[in-house]
Structure 1
Amino acid sequence: MTDSSRHVACVGGILFDPDGRLLLVRRANDPGRGLWSVPGGRVEPGEDDHAAVVRELAEETGLTVRPGRLVGVVHRGPYRIADYLCAVAPGSAAVPCPGDDADDARFVDRAAYAVLPVVDGLTETLRGWDCLPRI
Structure 2
Amino acid sequence: MMQGYNVLMVYSRDMDKLLMCRRLKDPYKGLSNLVGGKIEPGETGVDAAYRELAEETGITREDIALAHVMDFKYYLQNCCVEVYAGRLKRDDIAVAGDENELYWSDLDCNFFDMALYAGEGNIGHMIEQVNMYRDKIFGGVTSQ
Identify whether the pair has TM-score above 0.5, normalized to the shorter chain. Answer: yes
Change (3 A) 1:91 1:69: closer
Change (3 A) 1:129 1:111: closer
Change (3 A) 1:45 1:123: closer
Decide whether the 8 Å contact of 1:26 with 1:34 is kept in 2. Answer: yes
User: What is the number of residues matched between the two proteins?
Assistant: 125
Decide whether the 8 Å contact of 1:25 with 1:60 is kept in 2. Answer: no
Q: Secondary structure at the match of 1:54?
A: helix
Equivalent in the alignment of 1:58: 54
TM norm structure 2: 0.70
TM norm structure 1: 0.73
Q: Which runs of 5 or more residues in structure 1 are unaligned?
A: none
Counterpart CA distance in 1 for 2:131 and 2:95 is 19
Q: Following TM superposition, by how much is the alpha carbon of 1:39 offset from its aligned partner in structure 2, in angstroms?
A: 0.7
Decide whether the 8 Å contact of 1:67 with 1:84 is kept in 2. Answer: no
Q: Secondary structure at the match of 1:130?
A: helix
Q: Secondary structure at the match of 2:130?
A: coil
Q: Which runs of 5 or more residues in structure 2 are unaligned?
A: 133-141
Q: Following TM superposition, by how much is the alpha carbon of 1:95 offset from its aligned partner in structure 2, in angstroms?
A: 2.7
Which digits, 9 at most, give the CA deviation of each residue in 1:74-111, with x for residues without a partner? 245443110112244x68952321323x1x11221134
1:79 and 2:76 correspond: no
Equivalent in the alignment of 1:19: 14
Name the Cα RMSD after superposition. Answer: 2.9
Q: Following TM superposition, by how much is the alpha carbon of 1:43 offset from its aligned partner in structure 2, in angstroms?
A: 0.2
